[in-house]
Amino acid sequence: MSKKIVLATGNKGKVKELAAMLSGLSIEVLPQSDFSVTEVAETGSTFIENAIIKARHASEHTGLPAIADDSGLAVDALGGAPGVYSARYSGDNATDQSNITKLLGLMADVPNDKRQAKFLCVLVYMRHADDPSPIICQGEWCGEIMTEPQGDNGFGYDPIFWVNQQNSSSAQLSSQQKNALSHRGKALKLLLAQLQNQIG
Ligand SMILES: O=P(O)(O)OP(=O)(O)OP(=O)(O)OC[C@H]1O[C@@H](n2cnc3c(O)ncnc32)[C@H](O)[C@@H]1O
Ligand SMILES: [Mg+2]
């Protein structure tokens, strides 16, 4: 029987991207929704802390090793906001749309040459809930904040994240193109290199 790992996220966009990139391994990667894992409060002040909280929670609940993703957008003109608060930027009932609306409103007067931003992603692998030395990998993706949304692919802030290399928004990339360039894709490549040593 193949080894199982739980994906400790409630975000379907992340599950899709991570599952596609993990599909070549000899392990079964299962979303935490398969085990009815509840949401956990992300009380950390860093991506690393929050990723560990989520991985530990899913591992505790399922008894399986877990991979968690904590990620967000850091905008230069906003001093690095929304950062670890990216998912809750427009309040407790935030949606991708309301977060985008808030961000574009705050950026309305920011000139084109001052709209740099980056996506950040921390991936954590915990062998079990009490793992004292989780594997931690990070990735970054630099771009610019657009003045209006474009594209329907991806999730979150993708429709307003301009990717210079592709001359398009992140939401206009195929998931394959996005995975090849993104913060998550970069972090996962690093994690895979270490996981393969462990699980063959
Ligand atoms: O905590 P989990 O359950 O994993 O799901 P989440 O959506 O709450 O995820 P985070 O707490 O890590 O918050 C990250 C937010 O940053 C945004 N984000 C992260 N990666 C992104 C990406 O690849 N494209 C667009 N937006 C992204 C997105 O809006 C997320 O809601
Ligand atoms: Mg979250």
Domain borders along the chain are 3-199
Q: Is 185 in the pocket of ligand 1 (CB under 6 A)?
A: no
Centre of ligand 1 to C-alpha 93, Å, is 14
Pocket test for ligand 1, best of 49, 57, 71 (most atoms within 8 A of CB): 71
Consult the annotation and say whether 38 binds a ligand.
no
- Residue of the CA atom closest to atom 13 of ligand 1: 87
pLDDT at res. 26: 86
How does DSSP assign the chain, residue by residue?
--EEEEE----HHHHHHHHHHTTTSSEEEEEGGGGTPPP-----SSHHHHHHHHHHHHHHHHSS-EEEEEEEEEEGGGTT-BGGGGGGTT-TT--HHHHHHHHHHHTTT--GGG-EEEEEEEEEEESSTT-SS-EEEEEEEEEEE-SS---SSSSTTGGGEEEGGGTEEGGGS-HHHHHHHSHHHHHHHHHHHHHHHHH-
Pocket test for ligand 1, best of 11, 16, 37, 145 (most atoms within 8 A of CB): 11
ipTM of the shown complex: 0.99
pLDDT at res. 1: 56
Q: Is 42 in the pocket of ligand 1 (CB under 6 A)?
A: yes
Provide block-wise average pLDDT over 10 residues at a time, the chain (200 residues). 90 96 90 96 98 98 98 98 98 97 98 98 98 98 98 98 98 97 98 82
Q: Is 17 in the pocket of ligand 1 (CB under 6 A)?
A: no
Consult the annotation and say whether 72 binds a ligand.
no
Burial annotation 13-39 (CB, 10 A radius, 16+ → b, else e): bbbebbeebbeebebebbbbeeeebee
Query: Of the listed 70, 92, 109, 152, which one is catalytic?
Result: 70
CATH 3.40.190.10 fits 3-199, yes or no: no
pLDDT at res. 154: 98
Q: How many CB atoms lie within 10 A of CB 143?
A: 22
Q: Is residue 90 within 8 Å of 15, Cβ to Cβ?
A: no
For residue 69, indicate whether it is catalytic: no
Give the relative orientation of helices 183-199 and 12-21 as an angle to the nearest 10 degrees: 50
pLDDT at res. 33: 97
Rounded-to-integer distance, Cα 200 and Cα 198, Å? 6
pLDDT at res. 199: 67
The amino acid at 65: P
Centre of ligand 2 to C-alpha 147, Å, is 25
